[in-house]
Amino acid sequence: MHEHMPIDKALMILALSAYVVSALALIVYFFARDAWLRNLGVPLAIAGCIAQFAQLAARYELTHVWPLLNLYGSLSLFSALAVAIYIGFAFRYRLWFIGGFVIAMAALFLAYGVTWDEGTMPAVPSLQSYWAKIHVPLVVSSYAAFMVAFIVSALYLMKYYYENALEPAAEYAVEGGSLRAQRASVRLDTPNIAAAAAAGNPVAQWINAMPTLAQLDVLIYRIVAVGLPLLTLGVITGAMWAHDAWGAYWQWDPKETAALVSWIVYAVYMHLHTRNAWRGLRSAWVSVIGFLTIMFCYFGVNIWISGLHSYKV
């Protein structure tokens, strides 16, 4: 007897397949800048994202259990939101070039999430709350925003260090010859990369096609500006839920404190960004560290450290 695949499984496979093809197309677009690759990759990313939201809705409809209460469900939402945030920023700020990296990471997280799928289980008493429908999406969406910020930060750092690694270009030479020597981490031009690109260096050509360091810095700031208020609201709603469920809005549970660490790191980012000398390179590093703390908070605490938030399956 042939068994039909459940609709949620079919949608998950559809989403993963769309992401894989989209990521490949957009990564090649990053290097080749052929518009057709973007025109292929972006609709596929949108299709994958829609399929994922539909998958979550179908899972809820089939099981009547809120699908975000375990690592499988929350990772599914995480990757869908990362793609959604990317698409939003891409349309607003022409961020197509990072799409391949965002969607590849989203696909990896989604695939990892699938490995945690243990089937449907009823929610434990502490998770049977309307707060689950508010707190979890807020926190996960902040994680997704920070992932996009992390990718832009990584590209910023790549461009910055590549500029420093190149020989100073004679026709663009300025005093000091490199960004570090000029003590300016935010600037509009990367003369060494531009010169190398003009001379036919293929790596320099695709790095040069990225936005300027200053534009990347502003992009990171704008994405963190989405993530930090969401994380703050997520922590606040989590505290309100904890107040109902566990008797105290703050219990110093490992998940709470790890989220606090992430919040502090992004608060440091905000503070550093108020100073010209610390914008750019240093704040990009803080964004990278911030995302590492987010990953620790998300996976480290859920998987390795036991506490009130140990909801793996």
Partner 1 sequence: MALMRSFYADFTRTFGNVLFAVCLLIAWALLTLLGVLVEQGKDAGAYFSDYAAPLARLILRLDFNNVYHAPYYVGVIGLILLSLAVCTFKRVIPARLPPLRPMRIEKIPLNASIETRRSESDARSFVEAFFGKRGWQVRKREFGGVEWTFADKHNWARRGVLVAHVGFVIIAAGTTIYWARGFSGDAAIVSGQTVRIPYTATTIRLDRFAYKIQPTMTKSGIVYQPIDYVSGVTVTGKDRVPHERTIRVNHPIDVDGTLYYQANYGFAVRLRLSHRGARRTLSDGTYAIGDSFTLPGTQRTILLEQFVPTVDRRSREPSPDPRVNDPAVALAVQDHGEAVGTALVPLRATIDVGDGWRLALQRYLMISGLQYRYDPGVPLVGVGAFVLLAGLVISFYLLPARLYIRVEGAAGRSRIGIAATTVKGYDMFEKQFADLTAELREVT
Q: Contact between 121 and partner 1 (CB under 8 A)?
A: yes
Q: Determine which residue in the list 14, 47, 50, 305 makes contact with partner 1, applying CB under 8 A.
A: 305
Question: Which one of 20, 27, 123, 154 is in contact with partner 1 (CB under 8 A)?
Answer: 123
Nearest to 153 by CA among 69, 266, 50: 266
Candidates 268, 285, 299, 310; binder of partner 1 (CB under 8 A) is 268
Does position 60 bind partner 1 by CB under 8 A?
no
Residue in this structure with the two tokens 């390179």, named with its chain if needed = 281
Determine, following the binding rule CB under 8 A, whether residue 3 of this chain makes contact with partner 1.
Answer: no
Please state, in angstroms and rounded to a whole number, the distance separating the CA atoms of residues 174 and 300.
46
Choose one: 19-27, 79-87, 153-161, 222-230; the region binding partner 1 (CB under 8 A). 222-230
Q: Which two tokens stand for residue 196?
A: 């190398």
Assess contact for 120 and 63: CB atoms under 8 A: yes
- Give the N- to C-terminal CA distance of the chain in Å, as an integer: 30
Contacts of 174 (CB under 8 A, 6+ apart): 182, 191
- Residue 43, interface with partner 1 (CB under 8 A)? no
Q: Does 63 bind partner 1 (CB under 8 A)?
A: no
Assess contact for 22 and 44: CB atoms under 8 A. Answer: yes
User: E-strand spans in 143-261?
Assistant: none
Minimum distance, C-beta of residue 117 to partner 1, in the bound complex (Å) = 7
Residues 271-300 that bind partner 1 (CB under 8 A): 271-276, 278-279, 293
E strand residue ranges, the chain: none
Contact call for residue 118 and partner 1 (CB under 8 A): yes
Task: Tell me if 128 contacts partner 1 by CB under 8 A.
Answer: yes
Distance of CA 261 to CAs 71, 255, 258, 267, Å? Answer: 21, 10, 5, 10
Indicate whether 95 belongs to the interface with partner 1 (CB under 8 A). Answer: no
The site string for partner 1 over 135-174 (x = CB under 8 A, - otherwise) reads: ----------------------------------------
Interactions with partner 1, residue window 199-218 (CB under 8 A): 214-215, 217-218
How many positions of this chain bind partner 1 (CB under 8 A)?
A: 58
Are the beta carbons of 135 and 233 closer than 8 angstroms?
no
Q: Which residues of 128-146 are buried (b: 16+ CB within 10 A; e: fewer)?
A: eeebbebbbbbbbbbbbbb
In the complex, which residues of this chain contact partner 1 (CB under 8 A)? 93, 117-126, 128-129, 186, 214-215, 217-218, 221, 225, 228-229, 232-233, 236, 239-240, 243-250, 252, 254, 257-258, 260-261, 264-265, 267-268, 270-276, 278-279, 293, 301, 305, 313
